[in-house]
């Protein structure tokens, strides 16, 4: 099996064969190796890892507290003392960006995870049973998808009231239909395959067929969709913060910081640039990873040979 | 450039073609030399992975990007093709060098009318004016025997059947009077009756074009025996033998050719009389080619000298063989036949009880209505996939169900296992009526009734190991304790001739034949009483096919189970089955015991099938009964006998109006679904085929 994983070569096709054949642990390792083989995804993965580390050990890196005011240093441009400068209240922007990572990544991550779990369940069941159930579920999801994500989010927040939990609910509701559709489309193509029919003919129960026979085939698509959704969720959290309906002040939320920075743009432009840059960099990083995952995992079947 | 009479149109010299794969260089074709003079048809035969398609593509300089010619020369009408630039090649393609591909649907533009596609070619390559081109198109369609030429001209590809599209492509290929015509498995995806008509057509066209050299690529030995003047046999990238067709089939000089010929069941052979001898081992992958003669690890005649790579020996009378021992083989001092595998035992089946009883089985599907149907208020159409089929399978017996595509044979299988719900009729397992669908079937039923599917690539879950796949039915349906499981899995693998270490492998690491073996092991895991095999060998190479057929024989004799074996291949069904049932448009046409299937009288449809199978014997004689037209759609609802629209022996209105009776043929166990009385059939029909010798 080790040989199989190593033989993964530079070609996407063989990499996928390697992934499908190795065990779980070595499959993960192969995926990481594969990510670091390409420059784009190596950069993306590094960015992602740096931000995750920032979220985990932020308080140890940040020189100041998120709401610590150094009144004497207010409105300072970037310097050796304050790497990213200070805002008009005298808060250290570098500290706020570092400490804000935890909030953004946690909200986007947990929200996406919930959407992926829920979407997978719905997609599996709806795709497998088909018929009226599928029709009703999918038309309902279509109607949700017909609204722009931000509009739907604003509608929901209007009734839930702005809070962290509401943001989580919003991400889940907005992204569940999208994940469900992706999973469903895989289920539709897999459920008529002979190995599924073989399980049916041996009298397997539905849950076994769904999770043991069909679910593994959805993993590649799910990994790609999940990582894409994650990057959009970061956007969404930031957008909601910027609009003032998401995370509330004085949290060091990046979206919120952009909003505040914008108000004082002429005096302290750096208060806008750095949080906005953080959003851009992390989203680009995750997107680069998602792109590469797509190349590695979703190869058309002709190339596999 | 004018070439003299005998000079070959195509001369390949010492050609080696390689592909770049994962950074390494793999030679897919090695040191091949081959010449085709004008007017000759050269058949190129080989199993998958033998390099025959690579050779053809390289010859046409049409290799994919990662492939290239490493060594050798290709002379085409006195010109070295390898020296030409792609602009010059483009002039040759489609005019002097044309090709008929395997997949006609993919080769034609789906959004352009067929007439325009041909006319375009004539304008560009022949230089005809618009009106001339259109006129010539119709003439060409006539030449390839497309009945209603004007309708074909105005049709789009999706409106015609595969056989008709293949004719359109043939028309395009001959339109420019090419010097070289490459036919790449042009009949492989067609039904056997259509294939016979196409082969006739090719033979006629080739005969009419004396200046054309033809390269016919196929894996089917019967087809090549029927159409080629000379046959070149490829194995794992080597040209192993090259001989005039008659000589090659009568007295092959290479052990691989011998092996190929021995592992295909001939039409009319039965397991009770003939053993299939599969070629032992596997075709080597390009990464690990054996040293010396590449066939040596599988060769029954391998000796010390075979460690050296053999040259292509000139073996007299235009024959060549890449075997050190060709002289001994030629003089019959040694036998190049593969050994008969041990364990193949065929027992006379004794019918005591019926495992499966099917009575008046009907499966009708309702076609979904299109938006247009909804608007015009058309009611949904019924597709009568299976329309009244009755037969039974006895314990220890094999019933072969044979039919062409769309005949409903797979639907019968699915209705029995419950994957398709029957509309009418009864299916009884040991005299107990089965529920129509999967719902309501007990685990006893699941245990008794197992199925092996057609497509090895899809039959195993790519994410589960072989051990996991086999353990599950043992655990669930046979209540084995975890302690016994590993041993039971090993036993199962052993029964299908795989070693125990396969349990840890994933399906991606297995070859097609091995996957099918695991699928058979999975079906045998719950110890079924009835096994349904839906085209289990169709997508396998012939040498693998032989070993799987032997495996079926062996397991069946050992466990005395009933088998319903479904296939489109009459020779395979005739070989394996005790009873043969022929199905057409959802209804049985004939049911017959194995010993009388191939003797007249037949149902006219069976007769046509038998005379359409290409015999693996260039000197064999065969009646020429060809079916006209297309198989009607099963949604049409045909009155009287379902075969009357194409029957060459139709006797009048009675066939159109009345449902035929089942006639028992005296002196045999044969029953025929036909209006023609037995005596008349007996009088008019002869044995449809006869092998030489």
What pLDDT score does B97 carry? 92
B466 and B550 housed in the same domain: yes
Compute the nearest-CA separation of B545 from chain A (Å): 19
Whether residues B459 and A217 touch (CB distance < 8 A) is answered with: no
User: Mind telling me how many Å the CA of B534 is from chain A's nearest CA?
Assistant: 11
B241 and B272 fall within a common domain: no
Per CB-CB distance under 8 Å, the chain A contacts of B451 are 197-198, 201
Instruction: Give the pLDDT band of residue A301 (cuts 50, 70, 90).
Output: very low
Contact: A197, B453; criterion CB under 8 Å:
yes
Domain residue ranges of chain A, discontinuous segments joined by +? 100-287
Interface of A with B in 202-261 (CB under 8 A): 202-204, 212-213, 216-217
Disruptive mutation site among A37, A203, A204, A304 for chain B (greatest number of B CBs within 10 Å): A203
The residue among A105 and A3 whose pLDDT is bigger is: A105
- What is the model's pLDDT at position B281? 84
- Tokens, residue B642: 């379902």
- A37 touching B (Cβ < 8 Å): no
Within a domain: B26:
yes
pLDDT tens for A76-107 read 888 888 888 888 888 888 989 998 898 899 99
pLDDT of residue A279: 92
Please give the tally of structural domains in chain B: 5
Q: What is the pLDDT of residue B6?
A: 67
For residue B588, being part of any structural domain is answered with: no
Based on the fold, state whether residues B274 and B405 are members of the same structural domain: no
Q: Which of A7, A21, A195 lies closest to B460 in CB terms?
A: A195
Which residues does chain A have within 8 Å of residue B462's beta carbon, measured at their own beta carbons?
A: 20, 216-217
Nearest Cα of chain B lies from the Cα of A108 at a distance, in angstroms, of 30
Tell me what pLDDT residue B350 has. Answer: 59
Residues B400 and B520 in one domain: yes
Q: Which among A193, A194, A196 is the top mutation candidate for probing chain B, defined by the most B β-carbons within 10 Å of its own β-carbon?
A: A194
Q: Looking at the structure, tell me whether residues B325 and B374 fall in a common domain.
A: no
pLDDT confidence band for A3 (50 / 70 / 90): very low
Same domain for B114 and B76: no
pLDDT value at A16 more than 70:
no
Q: Per residue in B75-106, pLDDT tens?
A: 999 889 998 888 999 989 988 999 998 888 89
Which of B174, B201, B227 terminates a domain? The answer is B174
B180 and B170 belong to one structural domain: no
pLDDT, tens digit (0-9, with 9 covering 90-100), for B173-223 = 999 889 999 999 998 888 898 899 889 989 888 887 778 899 999 999 999
- pLDDT of A179 over the 90 cut: yes
B223/B170 same-domain check: no
Instruction: Indicate whether B122 belongs to any domain.
Output: yes
CB burial string B266-279: b at 16+ within 10 A, e below: bbbbbbeeebbbbb
Low-confidence ranges of chain B (pLDDT < 70): 1-6, 343-351, 368-370, 693
C-alpha–C-alpha distance, residues B46 and B37, integer Å: 22
Query: Would you state the structure tokens that stand for residue B397, as one six-digit string?
Result: 């017996």
B584 in a structural domain: no
pLDDT above 50 for A21: no
Rounded-to-integer distance, Cα B323 and Cα B327, Å: 9
CATH number at residue B77: 3.40.50.300
CB-based contact (8 Å) between B454 and chain A?
yes
Chain A residues with beta carbon closer than 8 angstroms to that of B455: 194
Q: Do B484 and B393 belong together in one domain?
A: yes
- Which residue among B23, B419, B463 sits closest to A200, beta carbon to beta carbon? B419
Here the ipTM equals 0.84
Task: Among B577, B612, B628, identify where a domain stops.
Answer: B577
Question: Which residues in chain A touch residue B420, judged by CB atoms under 8 angstroms apart?
Answer: none
Contacts of B642 (CB under 8 A, 6+ apart): B387, B584, B585, B586, B587, B632
Distances, alpha carbon B435 to alpha carbons A244, B67, B391, B393, B428, in Å: 61, 55, 18, 18, 9
Residue B339 counted as domain residue: no
Position A109 scores a pLDDT of 94
Which of B22, B450, B522 lies at the smallest CB-CB distance from A14? Answer: B22
- As beta bridge partners, residue B355 has none
Going along B484-535, which residue ranges are E strands? 530-534
Last residue of a domain, one of B191, B220, B253: B253
Cα-based angle B451, B457, B459 (whole degrees, multiple of 5): 25
Query: What pLDDT is recorded for position B553?
Result: 87
The answer as to whether B341 is a domain residue is: no
- Residue B560, min C-alpha distance to chain A (Å): 21
Residue B460 touches partner A, C-beta closer than 8 Å: yes
Q: What is each CA distance from B112 to B134, B154, B156, B662, in whole angstroms?
A: 15, 9, 6, 47
Residues B519, A21: C-beta atoms closer than 8 Å: no
Q: Which two tokens stand for residue A16?
A: 């996928």
**Phi and psi at residue B122, to the nearest 5°:** -65, -40
- Radius of gyration, alpha carbons of chain A: 22
Decide if B506 and A20 are in contact by the 8 Å CB cutoff: yes
Same domain, B478 and B555: yes
CB–CB contact B446 A201 (8 Å): yes
Average pLDDT over residues A47-65: 88
Residues B497 and B550 placed together within one structural domain of the fold: yes
Name every chain A residue with its beta carbon within 8 A of the beta carbon of B461: 195, 213, 216
Domain membership of residue B423 as a residue range:
354-577
Q: What confidence category does residue A300 fall into, taking pLDDT thresholds of 50, 70 and 90?
A: very low
The per-residue pLDDT for A274 is 92
Residue B585 maps to a domain = no
The answer to whether position B344 is within a domain reads no
The confidence score (pLDDT) of residue B544 equals 86
Q: Which residues of B touch A197 (CB under 8 A)?
A: 419, 451, 453
Mean pLDDT of A178-188: 95
Q: Is A67 a residue whose pLDDT tops 90?
A: no
Query: In this structure, are B31 and B154 located in the same domain?
Result: no
Q: What is the pLDDT of residue B652?
A: 87
Partner residue facing A21 (CB), from B438, B451, B508: B508
Architecture of the domain defined by A100-287: Orthogonal Bundle (1.10)
Under 8 Å between Cβ of B323 and B240: yes
Contact B358/B389 with Cβ under 8 angstroms? Answer: yes
Q: Is B476–A204 a contact, with Cβ atoms under 8 angstroms apart? A: yes
> In angstroms, what separates the C-alpha of B345 from chain A's closest C-alpha?
28
Under a CB-based contact definition with an 8 Å cutoff, are residues B681 and B606 in contact?
A: no
């Amino acid at each position: 099996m080790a040989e199989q994983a190593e033989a993964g070569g530079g070609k996407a096709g063989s990499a996928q064969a390697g992934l499908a054949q190795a065990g779980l642990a070595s499959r993960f390792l192969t995926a990481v190796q594969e990510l670091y083989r390409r420059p784009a995804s190596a950069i993306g993965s590094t960015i992602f890892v740096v931000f995750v580390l920032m979220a985990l050990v932020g308080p140890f890196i940040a020189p100041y507290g998120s709401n610590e005011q150094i009144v004497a240093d207010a409105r300072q441009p970037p310097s050796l003392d304050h790497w990213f400068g200070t805002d008009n209240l005298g808060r250290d922007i570098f500290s706020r960006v570092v400490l804000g990572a935890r909030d953004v990544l946690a909200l986007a991550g947990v929200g996406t995870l919930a959407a992926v779990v829920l979407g997978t369940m719905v997609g599996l069941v709806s795709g497998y049973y088909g018929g009226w159930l599928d029709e009703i579920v999918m038309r309902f999801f279509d109607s949700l998808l017909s609204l722009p994500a931000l509009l739907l989010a604003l509608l929901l927040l209007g009734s839930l009231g702005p809070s962290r939990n509401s943001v989580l609910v919003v991400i889940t509701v907005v992204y569940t239909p999208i994940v469900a559709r992706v999973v469903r489309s895989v289920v539709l193509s897999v459920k008529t395959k002979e190995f599924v029919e073989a399980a049916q003919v041996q009298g397997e129960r539905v849950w076994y067929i769904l999770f043991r026979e069909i679910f593994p085939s959805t993993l590649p698509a799910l990994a790609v969709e999940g990582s894409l959704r994650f990057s959009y969720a970061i956007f969404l959290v930031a957008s909601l913060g910027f609009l003032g309906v998401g995370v509330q002040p004085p949290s060091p939320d990046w979206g919120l910081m952009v909003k505040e920075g914008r108000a004082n743009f002429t005096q302290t432009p750096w208060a806008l640039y750095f949080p906005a840059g953080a959003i851009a960099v992390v989203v680009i990083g995750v997107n680069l990873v998602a792109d590469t995952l797509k190349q590695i995992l979703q190869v058309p079947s002709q190339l596999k040979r | 450039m004018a070439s003299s009479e005998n000079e070959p149109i195509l001369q390949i010299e010492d050609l080696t073609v390689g592909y770049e794969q994962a950074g390494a260089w793999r030679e897919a074709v090695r040191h091949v030399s081959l010449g085709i003079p004008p007017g000759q048809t050269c058949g190129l035969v080989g199993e998958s992975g033998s390099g025959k398609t690579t050779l053809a593509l390289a010859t046409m300089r049409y290799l994919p990007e990662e492939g290239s010619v490493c060594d050798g020369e290709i002379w085409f009408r006195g010109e070295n093709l390898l020296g030409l630039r792609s602009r010059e090649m483009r002039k040759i393609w489609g005019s002097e060098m044309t090709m008929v591909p395997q997949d006609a649907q993919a080769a034609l533009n789906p959004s352009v009318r067929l007439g325009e596609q041909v006319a375009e070619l004539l304008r560009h390559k022949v230089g005809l004016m618009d009106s001339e081109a259109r006129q010539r198109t119709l003439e060409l369609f006539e030449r390839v025997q497309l009945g209603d030429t004007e309708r074909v001209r105005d049709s789009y590809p999706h409106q015609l059947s595969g056989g008709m599209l293949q004719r359109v492509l043939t028309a395009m290929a001959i339109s420019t009077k090419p010097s070289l015509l490459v036919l790449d498995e042009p009949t492989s995806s067609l039904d056997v009756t259509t294939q016979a008509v196409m082969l006739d057509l090719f033979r006629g066209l080739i005969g009419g074009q004396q200046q054309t050299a033809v390269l016919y690529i196929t894996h089917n030995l019967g087809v090549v025996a029927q159409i080629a003047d000379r046959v070149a046999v490829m194995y794992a990238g080597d040209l192993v033998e090259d001989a005039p067709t008659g000589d090659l089939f009568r007295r092959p000089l290479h052990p691989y050719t011998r092996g190929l010929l021995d592992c295909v069941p001939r039409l009319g052979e039965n397991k009770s009389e003939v053993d299939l001898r599969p070629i032992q081992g596997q075709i080597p992958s390009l990464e690990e080619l054996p040293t010396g003669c590449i066939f040596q690890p599988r060769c029954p005649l391998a000796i010390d000298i075979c460690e050296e790579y053999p040259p292509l020996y000139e073996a007299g009378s235009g024959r060549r063989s890449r075997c050190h021992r060709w002289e001994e083989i030629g003089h019959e001092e040694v036998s190049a036949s593969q050994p008969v595998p041990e364990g193949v035992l065929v027992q006379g089946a004794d019918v005591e009880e019926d495992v499966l009883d099917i009575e008046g089985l009907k499966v009708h599907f309702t076609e979904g209505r299109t938006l247009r149907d909804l608007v015009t208020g058309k009611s949904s159409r019924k597709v009568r996939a299976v329309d009244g089929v009755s037969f039974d399978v006895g314990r220890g017996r094999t019933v072969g169900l044979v039919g062409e595509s769309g005949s409903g044979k797979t639907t019968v299988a699915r209705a029995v296992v419950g994957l398709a719900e029957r509309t009418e009729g009864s299916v009884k397992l040991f005299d107990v009526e089965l529920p129509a669908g999967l719902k309501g079937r007990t685990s006893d039923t699941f245990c008794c009734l197992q199925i092996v599917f057609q497509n090895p690539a899809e039959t195993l879950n790519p994410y589960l190991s072989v051990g996991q796949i086999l353990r599950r039915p043992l655990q669930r349906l046979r209540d084995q304790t975890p302690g016994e499981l590993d041993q039971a899995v090993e036993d199962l693998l052993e029964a299908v001739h795989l070693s125990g270490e396969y349990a840890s492998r994933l399906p991606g690491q297995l070859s097609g034949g091995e996957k099918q073996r695991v699928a058979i092991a999975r079906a045998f895991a719950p110890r079924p009483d009835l096994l349904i095999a839906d085209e289990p060998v169709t997508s396998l190479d012939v040498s693998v096919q032989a070993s799987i057929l032997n495996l079926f024989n062996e397991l069946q004799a050992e466990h005395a189970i009933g088998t319903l074996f479904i296939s489109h291949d009459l020779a395979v069904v005739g070989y394996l089955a005790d009873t043969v049932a022929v199905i057409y448009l959802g209804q049985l046409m004939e049911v017959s015991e194995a010993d009388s299937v191939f003797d007249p009288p037949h149902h006219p449809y069976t007769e046509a099938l038998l005379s359409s199978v290409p015999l693996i014997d260039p000197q064999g004689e065969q009646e020429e009964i060809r079916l006209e037209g297309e198989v009607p759609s099963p949604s049409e609802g045909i009155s009287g006998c379902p075969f009357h629209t194409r029957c060459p022996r139709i006797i009048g209105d009675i066939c159109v109006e009345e449902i035929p009776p089942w006639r028992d043929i005296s002196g045999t166990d044969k029953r025929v679904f036909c209006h023609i009385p037995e005596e008349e059939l007996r009088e008019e029909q002869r044995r449809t085929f006869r092998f030489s010798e």
